[in-house]
Amino acid sequence: MKSNLPRLTVFALALAAAGCSEEPQQQAAAPPPPQVTVATPIQQTVIDYDDYVGRFVAIDSVDVRARVSGYLEKVHFTDGQTVEEGDLLFTIDRRPFVIDRDRYRADLEQARANLSFAEDDLARAKKLVGERTISEQAYDQRLQAMRVAKAIVNARQAQLRQAELDLGFTEVRAQLAGRIGDRRVSPGNLVTGGNTGNATLLATIVTSDPIRFEFTFDEASYLRYQRLAKTGTDMASHSGGVDVTLKLLDEDEFKHKGRMDFVDNVIDRNTGTIRGRAQFANPTGVLTPGMFARIRVPGTAPYSALLLPEVAIASEQTRKYVLTVDADNVVQQKHVVLGEAIGDRRVIREGLTLTDRVIVNGTMRAQPGIKVSPKEEGPPQESGSEQAAAQPASSPETD
């Protein structure tokens, strides 16, 4: 027993020495604070925009109809081509109208000959009545005959003008420049003319450049636009004049630029909406009447806003938040109210100040309450425009 005591004491001292040597090693192995990238919000002048869906409509549209009846002789255009004002489109058989014109010309010549004879007879009667050779009644009869002959000449002139007009109507010409549809009647068919809706429809012409875009917006938006008009951006004015942009269904950006040219003066009782209209240049003819598109109109006056990259914004159920780093490099969670999206950035309406350092990279390594090693992000690349267009976007995903 006495021989074992020194050995136990030595073993206990060895264990104590080993424990003392491991504690500093564990302290030295503690991980350093995680590195994150931080950036302060940028301040920029923005405008919130409203999006609406609508259709293109032609500024002018004309139904090409026959003005006289007859057999369609020839078609002078290709279906769907662009025509200019005055271009010949259809020819109706001219022969019956040439005959009518020549007959009325002959009638006019006969009436003029009768008028000439009546005028000479009246001149002789005037001389004879002065000499008391004929009675005044005979003179009055010749005066009346001259007046009747003159009236007949006027009637024959009107008939000739109508005949010449009908002859001209046998050539159906474009009444405006635009794109013509397909022919509705083939050569050889009898077409009915006239100035009523019973006249045969031959084709339709619509203008294409410029073109109009019609859409509707609700009464609440209309009131907001009216109040916005006091700031100088009068989208709801009946004369329009506000710049707008548009994109087609297969496009990602609002790259077509136009201007508002009309807002209706009545709100529809059934839908509670009012009609607006904008005008766009269409030199290529891509924009077609009846086509759907999405238009963007100014929804607010220009205002100064704070913007953050979308990647810095995270979700917590229905609320959005960002992670910031305070003066002691400790992570703090701040709930924010989001505005519209501008490119890859999002307007922050509430919850941040211009001096807040927001974690934009490394949010998965940062947790509220821990200390981090922040690295300042370089200054953002500003766009060339002072005012950025705020546009609706989907909620940002968490890092």
Q: How many CB atoms lie within 10 A of CB 306?
A: 24
- Report pLDDT for 299: 81
| Cβ-based neighbours of 43, under 8 Å, separated by 6 or more | 304, 305, 306, 307, 354
pLDDT at 238 over 60: no
Where do the structural domains in the chain lie, given as residue ranges?
35-48+302-390, 50-59+210-298, 63-90+171-206, 94-169
Q: What's the CATH class of domain 94-169?
A: mainly alpha
CA distance readout (Å), 134 to 120, 122, 130, 139, 140: 16, 12, 9, 7, 11
CATH topology of domain 63-90+171-206: OB fold (Dihydrolipoamide Acetyltransferase, E2P) (2.40.50)
Instruction: Report the CATH architecture of 35-48+302-390.
Output: Beta Barrel (2.40)
Tokens at residue 314, please?
């995270």
Tokens of 302: 């220009």
Rounded to 10 degrees, the C-alpha dihedral 218/291/244/395 comes to: 70
Q: Given pLDDT bands bounded at 50, 70 and 90, which one contains residue 398? A: very low
pLDDT on residue 265: 85
Q: Are 297 and 230 in contact (CB under 8 A)?
A: no
- Express each pLDDT in 2-57 by its tens digit: 455 455 454 555 555 555 555 555 555 567 888 888 888 988 888 888 889 999 99
Range 50-59+210-298: architecture per CATH: Beta Barrel (2.40)
